[in-house]
Structures are given as structure tokens and as C-alpha cells.
Amino acid sequence: MTVAEVDVLVVGAGPAGLSTAVLLGRLGIPTRVVERRAAGSAHPKAHVVNARTMELFRQWGVADEVRDAALPLDRGIGVGWVTRVTGIEIGRITAADAPDEWDRMCADSSEALVSCPQDRIEPILLAAARRLGVRVDFGVEATGLDRTPDGVDVRVRRAADGGTETVRARYVVAADGARSPVREMLGIGNDAVAPVGHLLNAYVDADLGPYTGGRPYALWWILNSRTQGAMIALDGKRRWTYNFAFDPERESVADYPPERCAELFREAVGVPDLAVTVRSVLPWKLEIAIAERFRAGRVFLVGDAAHRFPPTGGFGMNTGIQDAHNLAWKLAAVLRGWAGEELLAGYEDERMPVARVNAAQSMRNAERMAGTGALFTDPSVLASIEDTAGADLRAALAAGIPAQRDHFLFQGQTFGHVYRSAAVVPDGTLAPRSTVAEYRMDAHPGALAPHTWFRTPGGARRATVDLSADTFVLLAGAEGRAWVEAADVASRRLGVPIAAFRVGADGDLDAETDGWRQVWGITPHGCVLVRPDGHVALRVPGAGPGGVADLIPALRAVLGRAEAGARADALDPADPAFP
């Protein structure tokens, strides 16, 4: 059996695995990806790409490609509850109904949410990873692993010829899906909640242009006596998915051949003779399952291997991609020698709370949807919904739709998570408390660095996310020259990449708005140190002149190069993470 060596082996080439590959490729870390499937996803699966993930795609240079592949805005203006696509509208939630709120959301980021299906995202990430020199092998399955003091030996088998190989990696990232074989090999269990529903997702080709023009929703909740489910517009023209409930105790996927799924889709649209082609049908469960651990030595779980939760809210794929973003820079820092192994403990400390919050909110969204009737499976309840006798039922359902606001307007859940770990230096203040819908922007240690538009001396426009890709960033106030000088010294002494900027009219950057320091919480003498993943590592509001004596010990603590005990001291139970 041949043996190949690599710094990081990623098992799985879905969105989380490919994102890990892109990130490590950008950081110059020798990386290989193996995927047991013969090719990427042919079924659309996930489709919501939230604004934070779009910020990451902006950093990686693929945001424009994703936007081009996404549902055009004029074909996805919101969410509608209808008896059928051609039937009675019960209610809706759209950006046009709350323009002020939409404007506030746009002000929070350089990017906006898009709807782009997974079968379009994966090829974009795959091409990006390969451009960066990452080897990605499809049809190669991880069949076993042995952990050693210095790494992990992973046995892999090629489907094409049955050939085997051992890949000796210093670290392994398991991104191999909800039924993760790697997680099973490690003996890591799940903290799971029994499924509250079983559904089928039918991928459909049908021309609905003549029927959706008056109300081109991205998501249609269908409620009639013949079928109830969620129809998702993938391109607003021919590509759709239709999700509907089934009872696995009395029926199976085989009971829903393409012909039956096509008929249900026609019932959902309300056009009996509609030409429909069903491309594929996948079962899924409305459930929560979170791994008991996100790490076993040198093996890390990301994406669905670490957590899965209902799609209500669209946080599954986004959480996985952001797991990768949290982990990759830490692996690179340790592999390059400018961080200690202790830094890697912060991955689970930081990402497991986010997964739990997103899982719980996704389940709440599902439960609220059931309250509107959108998940009803008893046709007798809806027998009269399409005639005059159903007016009261439609009104009752419509009254419950405003409660769905957090399901579709989730700015706080997108941006408001505040990490607590040894890779964050507390500043003695309490974290801002965002809600699901409302985001409180603040440069609190552990929070995302606030979105701000800056100008260079040459007039080029830069967003916060444009500054913090792949490196630490220090932003100092107009009188913060000592911090900029300290960053240069710290970078050279510790071998850590730091890009430092003094922000002011005569500085390296100038903010487009006068209130930037109030949002960031510093005086002209203060500074904020931002990690490569965009979260704040350190904030010094401005007491004292600042300098090397303050910055180097803080960086040592963040990077796991401080004295023993720093990690425990950094975890402050009185300062809870979102929400």
C-alpha cells in the first residue's frame, strides 16, 4: 500500500469541505480532499447563502460567480403563503413590505443574502480550490484511520479500481456529511432530538413563468387539500424543488416515483396539464443532531458531520462554511509555527455554541411554520381552504404569518454571535445582546468586527472584510500611531502576519462616516485587533498610549503561546454568547 503525506486531509467535498480546501489553499497549506461520491451534488439541496457567507465568498473572489448563479432578485422578492401558485394568496413576507428594515440590513454588511442552490455553489468552490493547487479526488472513500502522536493515517480506497492508499496527514478535517463515517470511526456520538417530521425533496423541471409573474416569490408555502409543502424557486423559471411530508412508518421513498411527485407538483401549482420532469427525489428528516465533540485529537468535524438541523432559516450550509472559516486559519497558524496547539481548542469552544443556537432557532422556526398550517399533513383540516367557506381558516392562517419574521429576517442570528475562548481577550464589558432579527453592531472582543466602509489615501473603497482576509488586522484611531508601530514590532517578533492601519483624515485609511469609533468602541488613542476570521481578538478603548508591552502579551494569549491557565481565565460565564 502506498503512503502519501499532506499537511491537511479533508474528507468530503460538499460546501464545508470545499470551503476548508479554499481557505487552506489561500493560506498556502498543502491540502488534499477525498470524496466518496463520483461527482458533486446533482440535487440542489441547500440554497440560502446568508450575508456573512457572502462576505467570505467576497474575500475568496467568488462572490460574483455565486451572485450570477443565484436566483435573480426580481424572481425572488420574498415568501408567499398560497393555496396554489395559481390560487389564493393567504399572506406574504417581502422586503418591499418593510423597506426601512431592508435598508438597515444592507447597512450591516458589504454583501446581501442570495438564494443559490448547492449544486451551483459546489462547482464554484471546487474550481477555486483547484486554482489554488488543492488536489480534490472524487470516487475516493476513507475506510479507516489510525491516530498517531504526530498525525493521522487515513486509509482510502478508489472506487474505480479498488486500489488502496494511506494518506498520512498532520490534521484531518471530517466534512463527510450527516452520517459521517469519520465521526463513526472516532466513536463520537450525537446529542440528538428525535425527528419531528419526515419529508421528501423533489427536484423538478417545469416552466412556471406564465404563472409566477405577478408574485415571483423565492419560497412558496402551498396549502390545499391535495398537497401541502414548500416550493423553492432555484432560478425563477424552470428549476424548482418541492418539499412535502411523508410517513416512513406507512410508506417509503419508493412509494413516490417521479410520476406521483409530478402530480403533487401540478396540484401545488394548480395546472393539471403542466409539463413536469422530476429529476431526483431525496428524503430528509426534520431533526436536530449535534456531535458530542467537534474534535478528537488531530481530527476535526465541520458542517453536517458536526451538526444538522432543520432547513427552516437556511442555516445548515452557512454554519458549515463558517465552521471551516473558523478552523482553517487556526490550523494554518499552528502548521506555520506562529501559534500553539492550544489555539485549536478554540474551534469547539467557539463553534459548538453557534451550532446549538442555530439548531434551536431552526427548530423554533419549524414549529412556528407548523402553527401556520404550512406543515399540516391532514387534508381534512384544509378541505375548505380554497372556497368561500374557508375564509375564516385563511384569515386565521394569515394572522400567524407575522410571527414568522425571525424565520426570514435573521440579521442578528447571522452576525450577532460572540465567541468566548482563549483566542479572545476580554475587555471587562458585557457583550452586545443581539436578537434573532436585530443585530447590535459592536467591536466587543469575540464579536465580528463591525462593517465599515473605508477609503485609502488614493480613494479606493474598502470594507472591513476586505482588510481582514487571511491575516490579523489592527485598526487604530487617529492618534494611535503607537499601536501601528507596536503591530509591526509584534509581527516581526512573533512571526505573525499583521496588517496595521491608523484611521483618520491623514491616516492609512479614513472612515466614510464620522461615527465609526463609536461603533467600534474606541477613542482616537485606542485600537482593535481583528483575527483572520474577522472576529475581534482584542479591543483597547484608549486608556494609555498603547504599545508593544500591551500587544505582544495579548497576541501570545490569543495564539495559545501564553502561560498555562490563560484559556480558563478567558472564559467568562457572566458574558454569554448570542443570544
Q: Cβ of 415: how many Cβ atoms within 10 Å?
A: 23
φ and ψ of 569, to 5 deg: -65, -30
Q: Whole-prediction pTM value?
A: 0.93
Q: What is the pLDDT of residues 142-182, one digit of tens each?
A: 999 999 989 999 999 999 999 999 999 999 999 999 999 99
Query: Measured between alpha carbons, how far apart are the two ends of the chain, in Å?
Result: 50
Greater confidence (469 vs 259) lies with 259
User: Whole-number mean pLDDT of the chain?
Assistant: 91
| Segment 551-564 mean pLDDT | 86
- DSSP, collapsed to helix, strand or coil, labels residue 461 as strand
Distance CA 94, CA 163 (A): 53
Domains along the chain with CATH numbers: 2-67+117-190+290-364 (3.50.50.60), 192-286+366-408 (3.30.9.10), 416-570 (3.40.30.120)
Give the pLDDT confidence score for residue 373 in this predicted structure: 57
Asked if 142 and 36 touch (Cβ cutoff 8 Å), the reply is yes
H or E segment and range at residue 19: helix 15-26
Q: How confident is the model at residue 314 (pLDDT cuts 50, 70, 90)?
A: confident
Q: By CB neighbour count within 10 A (0-12 exposed, 13-18 middle, 19+ buried), where does 190 fall?
A: middle
Q: How confident is the model at residue 579 (pLDDT cuts 50, 70, 90)?
A: very low
Q: Which of the residue ranges 28-42, 132-146, 362-376, 479-493 would you say has the lowest mean pLDDT?
A: 362-376
In the predicted structure, residue 426 carries a pLDDT above the cut 50:
yes
Q: What is the pLDDT of residues 254-272, one digit of tens each?
A: 999 999 999 999 999 999 9
In the predicted structure, residue 285 carries a pLDDT above the cut 90:
no
Q: What is the pLDDT of residues 106-128, one digit of tens each?
A: 789 999 999 999 999 999 999 99
Most confident of 207-221, 332-346, 361-375, 431-445: 332-346
φ and ψ of 224, to 5 deg: -150, 175
Q: What share of the chain is helix, strand, coil (3-state, %, to 5)?
A: 35, 25, 40
Distances (CA, A) of 326 to 303, 320, 348, 426, 503: 12, 10, 10, 19, 27
Give the pLDDT confidence score for residue 571 in this predicted structure: 35
Three cell numbers, residue 10: 479533508
- DSSP, collapsed to helix, strand or coil, labels residue 355 as helix
Give the pLDDT confidence score for residue 414 in this predicted structure: 92
What sign for the dihedral angle of Cα 41, 246, 89, 274? positive
In the predicted structure, residue 565 carries a pLDDT above the cut 90:
no
Tell me whether strands 2-11 and 31-35 are parallel, antiparallel or unpaired: parallel
Q: 472 has which bridge partners?
A: 498
Most confident of 390-394, 411-415, 431-435, 536-540: 536-540
In the predicted structure, residue 455 carries a pLDDT above the cut 90:
yes
Q: Cβ of 2: how many Cβ atoms within 10 Å?
A: 8
Three cell numbers, residue 100: 426601512
Largest CA distance in the chain: 77
Q: How confident is the model at residue 232 (pLDDT cuts 50, 70, 90)?
A: very high
DSSP letters spanning 109-122: -SS--EE--HHHHH
Residue 263 per-residue DSSP state: H
Q: Which of the residue ranges 20-29, 42-51, 545-554 would you say has the lowest mean pLDDT?
A: 545-554
Q: Look at residues 224, 219, 578 and name the one whose alpha carbon lies nearest to residue 397.
A: 224
In the predicted structure, residue 544 carries a pLDDT above the cut 70:
no
In the predicted structure, residue 569 carries a pLDDT above the cut 50:
no
Distance CA 215, CA 541 (A): 49
Query: If you search the block for the grid coordinates 381558516, which residue do you land on?
Result: 393
H or E segment and range at residue 356: helix 342-371
What sign for the dihedral angle of Cα 435, 440, 444, 448? positive
Give ∠ CA 571-17-196 in degrees, rounded to 5: 75
Find out whether the peptide bond into 579 is cis, omega within 30 degrees of 0.
yes
Distance CA 292, CA 289 (A): 9
Asked if 169 and 7 touch (Cβ cutoff 8 Å), the reply is yes
| Secondary structure, 3-state, 401-438 | HHHHHHHHCCHHHHHCCCCCCCCCCCCCCCCCCCCCCC
339-356 exposure pattern, b = at least 16 Cβ within 10 A, e = fewer: beebbbbbbbbbbbbbbb
